[in-house]
Structures are given as C-alpha cells and as structure tokens.
Structure 1
C-alpha cells in the first residue's frame, strides 16, 4: 500500500488516528519492553513519514507548526513510538539542505513509500557529545570505509535506513570535526551490527540499539555533507529540537489525561472533608496550575513552529539563505518551548501520584510509566542552558550558539 499524501489538515487527522493505535497496549509494551513493530508500521502506512518531503520530489510539505502538533499528538499516545520518527524527519531535513538532486530523489522517494530512517550519531567516551570518532576512510575506488560505534540509536532496530555521522579521514586531525558527513545506508549493509541493548528506565520501546560499524563499505553517492549545514544561519537545529519539545508537550498532556482517570478512583484525604478526591480543593488548585502550564507549552509549541516557518520564508522546497536574525528568533522560540515543555512533562507526570494517592505507588498501577518517559526524554538536551540563551537574547539580543547537536 502506498501511503497517502497529506496536507496540514490531513496530517493532523492522521496523527489522531495513529494516536489511538499507539495508546492501545502502550503500558504493556513498556512493562515487557516489546518493540512497537505493528505500531511503527501504522505510522509508515499513515503517510506521516513524508509530510516534509519537498513538492518537487512528489511531496506535499506541511507547515512546521503542523509537524510540531503531529508529534505532540503521537506522544500523547506513546512517547516512545513518537520519538522514533524524530530522527527520520531530521535526516530528511539534512538531505533537503545538502543532498544532490539524485540523492534527494532517491531518499525522499523512500520516505514517501513509508520507509523509516534511523540515527547513528551519539558516541561515548568523547570529550563532548559534539565530537565524533567514527571515521570514513577514503578508498582508491572513490568509496569510503566506515568504522566506529554509535549509541542511543533511536529506531535503529526497526528502520530500513541507518544514517551514520562521522568524519572523513582521521578523527584525530586538527580539522577533523569540520569534515563531518552523513552516510545513508541500508540497515542490512555488511559490517553493520545493531544490538538490542537499550536499558533506559523510560522510553523503553524506542528501538534504540547500539550500532557497531566494522569496515563498512560506503558508496560515495551515499554520503552528504553535515558540517556545512552550520556554516551559515540555519533552522536545522531548531526544527530538530522543536520535535523533541513536542514529545514533551504530548507527554504532559497524556499525564493530564491519566490524572482524570486516577482521581476518579482515589479516596480524598480526611482533612479535605469532601465526598470524592476530585473535590479536594488543594488537588484542584494543583491541577489547575498544571493545566495552565500544559496549555502554555502547547501555545509556545505552535508559536515556535510559526517562527521557524517565518525564518524559512515559507520556502519548503528550498532552504535558501536564512536571515540570521530570523533564524535566531526561531531558535529562541524553540528554546522557550523546550523549557516550558520540560517543566510541564516532569511536573504533570509526577503529580499523577498525587491524583491517584497511595495506590498509585503500586508497580501494577503503571502510574510511573509517564514519569519515567518524561524523566528520560527530557535529559536529551538540558533545558537549563535554554534559559541562559533566552536570557541573553532578551537582554542583549545575542544570538544563541550554532552547533550540530540535535
């Protein structure tokens, strides 16, 4: 079945339909760490994996605000599954910016067909997460040989394509990190081994295995520039971070959904002197404040998506030359929602225990799942630094830093 082409309204409707699929059995998948094969197939079949493909390659790109709302909706169903396509869209965006016409035609076509792209980016043991030791050694025939180990490779176990980041030549060379590339490789390429070893306390079913590359043959036409994305002002990082913020917003809304069910079966404290827990005035105050926080995050999410669209001047088929001030404004808008979304996800998922009372501490209740997911996912990019960037921008107009950490 060929996935449908979706406009903005169609993408939102498809996300709602898929949300129901993801929500069904989410708790059981988390408990038993069952990979979401059927659920990801539903995402592929829905057409949502192609919503950013440029029109000249057969797509019908939706607005960035719609992309954000789509991911918040999916995360409301199951945040683990929602995290998997984040890398998919990010690497399609990289392709849009630095890929050749032939590369774009090939891999955008794969996305429109529902094929999934997963990441192989992060490494351990490097001075910072921005350093790559994975190397692509040039060969006499024009190909490259890739060697290295990547961790936290979200979606790799259930992907069709693996996108590997590394440096051309020796990673120890002084300018090595400025020669980063991305290689788009079939997951069954000889020399690629993907281990099912993710043991996170939350986001347990993101299919995030360790990827080991041993002398992997990489065709020259499978490689696109990566470092070049950041030579000038860009919305690449803002787009990638917006989707992470959307996942946290969806988690927060899911926690509010769960709180309604939890309080319905809870007993009120004696001091409240009310007939049911949902009439406890202090609990109502607590969740009133939380609802305001979640609504704030939802509004900021839309605002940030619109800021990215403005920066790109609505040219989805051509990233073009982005005005540095507009790009900075978009990044700050994303930073703001990232901070509020982090707070919303952590506070609402923690307050679930207050809504459910003592019985919510039982492992069998599953009350901890959303908190574990929120606690794990919000570690991806520390929001404390986002506050610093927003503060400097507000007081001095300083642009946030530009780097390749997405």
Structure 2
C-alpha cells in the first residue's frame, strides 16, 4: 500500500492544451508492458507513480484551489488514451476523478482546499463503495457512527475497491448509523493507512486483472468530522455527477476497442490467409477487410460519441437545468452503449485477424477481450438503451440515482 506522496517533485499543473498530449504519451508508455502485467498479474505500482508525477490526477481541480480544470471533453480524451495503453491502469483514476467531483460539489471550502491540494501533489484517491449480499447495489451496510468526542467510527466491508492497494486516500460510502436511512449516505475521506483499515489483494477477475481492486475491511476506523462529505444530496437535484462518472467508463471501453484495432494491425501481418481468399497475405483478404471496416466504423463512432458526451456535459455545466442535465445523461448513455459494443466487437474480431494461431495462449490476445468483457459488466447497457429510447420518443428524463 502506498502511503507517501507518489512524486518527489510537485507535478505540473496541466490544462486543456497539455493534458491530452501527456495522456497519449503515458498510454504509449504503458502499452508495451501491459501483456506482461496481465500475464504475471503484476500490479502497476511504478506506472501509477508515473501517473501521479504526470499532473493528470489534478486536471479537474478548480482554479480557485490552484488547478486549471479541463473540460469534460478533454477528460474523456485523457481516458481514451490511457485505456488504449492499458485499461487496468485507466480504471484506477476513474474513481479518483469521480470523488474529486463529489468534493467539488459537496465539500466545504476547507475540505476542498485540503483534498484538492492532495490531488495536485499527485496523491491518489480510491473508492470503497460496493458491497456484497445486499438486496441491490444501492444498499449499504457500512455504518458511520457518531462518537462522544465529535469524531465518527466507520465499520464495514467493501469489495471491488479499484485502486485501493495503491491509494493514499480511500473514499468510503456509508450510512449514518443513528438513522439507518439509505437516503442519508456520506462519503468518508480517510487515509489508506489509517488504523483499522485492511486492504486485501484478492481481486480475481478474469479481466482488468491489475486494477488493484481489493477488499477493504473497516474496523472502528476513526473519522474526523471534517472528513465526512454528504453523498445522497448529490442526487437531490439535476446534476452531471453521474454523467461525468459514466463518461469515463465509456472512454475506457472505447480505449480498449481502439487498442484491439492497434493489435489487429500487428497480428494480421504474420497471419496466413484462408485458401478461399486466393490472396498472398491475410491483410488482402477482402472479407477480413470488410469485417474490420465495420469494426473501425464502430470504434470511430464510439470515440466520437464519447467526445460528444463530454461536450454535452460541458454545455450542461455552463447552464444547468433539468433539461440540460438530462441531455448530458442521455448523450453519455449513448456513448456507453456504443463503446461497450465497439469494445466487445473489436476484441472478438481481433482473433479473426490473427487466424488460428490467435488462440495460442502465449500471444495473450485474449487479454483485451477479457478486459472488455469484465469492464462492460460494470453497469448494464441494456438499461441505458431503454433510457435513450424513452428519451427519443417521449422526452422522458433518465432516472437519477447514486450508482456510478
């Protein structure tokens, strides 16, 4: 577990012009060793330190706290590039950005000053939200109990805590024990090495194998009053909070799809064409070219829809109304459906590009499919399609809930 600042020198403060280039360079640097990390399940400690030192972890910090906040469109582009390099690494800062957004919306000035400074220094925030065995993922059993000294005690167990093994801060969602009301949830921002915190390296997913998504057990963790931020209130009114979080998931899927096309370009060079094609090389097979024409169209469409969703969020945040928030949510849902389809289609077609030898375990071409299959399960796109259709035909706004 990382407990010290990730960077020895203060990371640069990036803006809309600088952030995409930095992300593209990092993604390109992560890509060559992604297969090795997946094969050996080597968690990306050194790579995350590079991410911390890059300045990308501070690109949403408001100007009044020292940042140069980038647009949602730029943020999406950053995650497209990171996921193109290694989707497991890209998924780790998704939670980081989401909980900085919660802080921006619900934190006190002093909380914002404190935690935004941490982000600008390259320190990482990880989520501790999901639980098992509850009636739905909207139900939490983790409790925040008031203590006589003004602090609170935090108890519970969280699963799929992405990035927790390398976090400096954990953001834990829980209910106020004095009410037990699922509609009065809070976020506790606690040091990852606080007494009573246990982070286990027990994630066994078939894909996204190096997201450091361990189980977090919290036993009588003392939480100062100034480390609690309201959560349920995020969804009382029209907001872009959920759309921003979902936008990054869509960008990760689209990045996986693009990585599959990149890889197909390499494997087709050494593949043998089928006899029926009557061509010298596999990259001249007309049916394969047709197939990858369709794949490329799907990937380009997903990338464009991700950026379009970023634009819709930016528009909504300039003049937030129930209608503009709904438009942003629908644009993001559309991008999420398109990117999930593109990721699954492209990573499946990758095997066709390489032919029979694609099945060789040593090539690990299944890594991208496993990443896509795992990450696209995060939230069911079949419901997003329903919301889009209802909006298209009736103008009905999508539901607001705290599932991100």
TM range (shorter): over 0.9
CA distance in 1, matches of 2:288, 2:393: 37
Equivalent residue runs for 1:322-333 within 5 Å: 322-333=320-331
CA distance in 1, matches of 2:168, 2:126: 8
CA distance in 1, matches of 2:369, 2:289: 20
CA distance in 2, matches of 1:285, 1:343: 18
Equivalent residue runs for 1:3-402 within 5 Å: 3-169=11-177, 173=180, 176-313=181-318, 322-402=320-400
Displacement of 1:20? 1.9
CA distance in 2, matches of 1:67, 1:237: 15
For the Cα contact (< 8 Å) 1:21–1:39, is it kept in 2? no
CA distance in 1, matches of 2:30, 2:229: 33
Q: Deviations over 1:14-73 (max 9, x none)?
A: 001111221131100000000101111111111000000000000000110000000000
CA distance in 2, matches of 1:246, 1:142: 41
Which runs of 5 or more residues in structure 2 are unaligned? 1-8
Range moving further from structure 2, 162-171 or 81-90 = 162-171
CA distance in 2, matches of 1:51, 1:354: 39
Displacement of 1:231? 0.5
CA distance in 2, matches of 1:236, 1:51: 16
RMSD value over aligned CA atoms?
A: 0.8
For the Cα contact (< 8 Å) 1:36–1:205, is it kept in 2? yes
Structure 1 length normalisation: TM-score? Answer: 0.97
CA distance in 2, matches of 1:8, 1:54: 13
Q: Deviations over 1:311-366 (max 9, x none)?
A: 0008xxxxxxx200000000000000000000000000011110001111011011
CA distance in 2, matches of 1:362, 1:20: 25
Partner of 2:390: helix, strand, or coil? helix
CA distance in 2, matches of 1:81, 1:379: 17
Aligned to 2:6: none
CA distance in 2, matches of 1:70, 1:343: 21
Q: Deviations over 1:145-179 (max 9, x none)?
A: 111000000000001000000001157x4xx1111
Displacement of 1:193? 0.2
Q: Deviations over 1:228-248 (max 9, x none)?
A: 010000000000000000000
Structure 2 length normalisation: TM-score? Answer: 0.97
For the Cα contact (< 8 Å) 1:50–1:112, is it kept in 2? yes
Which runs of 5 or more residues in structure 1 are unaligned? 315-321
* Count of aligned residue pairs for this structure pair: 396
Partner of 1:182: helix, strand, or coil? strand
CA distance in 1, matches of 2:241, 2:139: 18
Q: Deviations over 1:83-138 (max 9, x none)?
A: 00000000000000010000000000000000000000000000110110000011
Q: Deviations over 1:200-252 (max 9, x none)?
A: 00000000000000111111111000000100000000000000000001000
Aligned to 2:3: none
Aligned to 1:319: none
